[in-house]
Amino acid sequence: MASAPQKMTIAKALNAGMRAAMEADPKVVLLGEDIGKLGGVFRITEGLQKDFGEDRVLDTPLAESGIMGTAVGLALRGYRPVVEIQFDGFVYPAFDQIISQVAKMHYRSQGHLKLPMVIRIPYGGGIGAVEHHSESNEAYFAHTAGLRVVTSSTPEDAYWMIQQAIASDDPVVFYEPKRRYHERGEVELGDSAPLALNDAVVRAEGSDLTLVTYGPMVKTALIAAQAAEAEGTSVEVVDLRSLSPLDRPTILDSVVKTGRAIVVHEAQTFLGMGAEVAALIQQEAFYHLEAPVLRVGGYNIPYPPSRHEEVFLPDIDRILDAVDRSLAY
């Protein structure tokens, strides 16, 4: 049943999406630090414990591996745990459980066991936080077979993708662009999602160059595309949405059309998602390219103190500079 679209923030959309998933399936349980009465440090789970009870929304001890490992056990018992990792940089104590157990359980059980769990990670910088609170560590997980890794850049995607992730029988690492939590947009609260969890989407059409990006950088890329348009360059923006698997056809169709590609993300470029996308493009669309695939991302340093983040994070100027370099070929 289609209803009128509603204006809401990414934060509210995630909350509404989880609420819908919990109403649809009593086996969905949320686990995390401070997600109950407080509603999470970003208030994404606000009100859910009040409405679904402490049995469905569990405040856990402060131990990330513990949260992840018990979620594995719950999933093995037939539950669908949704785990909140408070901040990107806090996921590392749980890294072993995610890589060694979550990713591999279905494989090593030869398909007998499933781990339908979602690992929610608020990620990225730009909020002036102290260290360990601004990282983009998606490549570690995208590199790991057995995990699906997705990120949403709009309220509509946030609302639908969190439900799709919870419904997935595979473990999904769900990256939430924390500095965009309060961006508003229209959400169509219909019967089903407009896009599959795996699909990339073209956010802006263009003919001269493709910006491939995701998460918090989508908005930056769209503004950069508008600025380029004013200077006479037609830029297409592809929002990957899914980092594993990659939607190869959408990426390649766009690059074949425009002949130029720049990958933009916040994470360090070295061995990041951009390296994979660039390799894919040169391997599959070599004869269509007018210029080498460029990357705009973080420098190969730990996430710096926040007084530097303005220049560490890709911004419109750095993207436009890369556009100029690409067009110069």
Partner 1 sequence: MSDDVVAPVDTAAPATHEPPARDITDGGPEMVQFLDAEGNRVPVTEANSAYAEFIQDVDGEELRALYRDLVLVRRVDAEGHALQRQGELGLWPSLLGQEAAQVGAGRAMRAQDYAFPGYREHGVAWCKGVDPVNLLGMFRGVNHGGWDSNENNFHLYTIVIGNQMLHAAGYALGVQKDGLVGSGDADRDTAVMAFTGDGGTAQGDYNEALVFASVAHSPVVFFVQNNHWAISEPNEKQFVIPPYQRARGFGIPGVRVDGNDVLATLAVTRAALDRARSGQGPTLIEAFTYRMGAHTTSDDPTKYRIAAEVDIWKKKDPIDRLRKHLVAQGLADDEWLAELEAEADELALRIRTACQQMPNPPHEDMFENVYVDPHPLVERERDEFVAYQASFEED
Between β-strands 80-84 and 28-32, what pairing exists: parallel, antiparallel or unpaired? parallel
Give the DSSP letter of residue 60.
P
Stretch that binds partner 1, among 153-161, 209-217, 222-230, 245-253 (CB under 8 A): 245-253
Asked whether position 96 contacts partner 1 by CB under 8 A, the answer is: yes
What are the tokens at 198?
């795996």
Asked whether position 169 contacts partner 1 by CB under 8 A, the answer is: yes
Question: Which of residues 61 and 232 has its CB atom nearest to partner 1 in the complex?
Answer: 61
Residue from 133, 143, 265, 288 carrying the catalytic annotation: 133
Q: Which residues contact 3 (CB under 8 A, 6 or more apart)?
A: 188, 189, 190
Between β-strands 118-123 and 57-59, what pairing exists: parallel, antiparallel or unpaired? unpaired
Asked whether position 145 contacts partner 1 by CB under 8 A, the answer is: yes
Alpha helix segments (H runs only) across 27-144: 48-52, 64-76, 95-96, 105-108, 138-142
Per-residue burial over 79-111, b if 16 or more Cβ lie within 10 Å, else e, is bbbbbbbbbbbbbbebbebbbebbbbbbeeeee
Asked whether position 165 contacts partner 1 by CB under 8 A, the answer is: no
User: CB of 103: closest distance to partner 1 in angstroms?
Assistant: 9
Between β-strands 242-244 and 148-151, what pairing exists: parallel, antiparallel or unpaired? antiparallel
Report how far apart, in Å, the C-alpha atoms of 78 and of each of 22, 29, 68, 177 are. Answer: 15, 11, 15, 30
User: CB of 66: closest distance to partner 1 in angstroms?
Assistant: 3
Tell me which of 1, 3, 77, 328 binds partner 1, using CB under 8 A. Answer: 77
Asked whether position 25 contacts partner 1 by CB under 8 A, the answer is: no
Tell me which of 55, 230, 286, 287 binds partner 1, using CB under 8 A. Answer: 55
Binding residues for partner 1, rule CB under 8 A, total 45
* Other Cβ atoms closer than 10 A to 231: 9
Tell me which of 13, 21, 72, 209 binds partner 1, using CB under 8 A. Answer: 72
Asked whether position 191 contacts partner 1 by CB under 8 A, the answer is: no
Asked whether position 143 contacts partner 1 by CB under 8 A, the answer is: no
User: CB of 239: closest distance to partner 1 in angstroms?
Assistant: 18
Nearest to 84 by CA among 53, 119, 115, 45: 119
Question: Which of residues 124 and 146 has its CB atom nearest to partner 1 in the complex?
Answer: 146
**Interface residues toward partner 1, by CB under 8 A:** 29, 55, 60-61, 63, 65-66, 68-79, 93, 96-97, 100-101, 104, 106-114, 145-146, 148, 168-170, 198, 244-246, 248
Catalytic center residues: 133
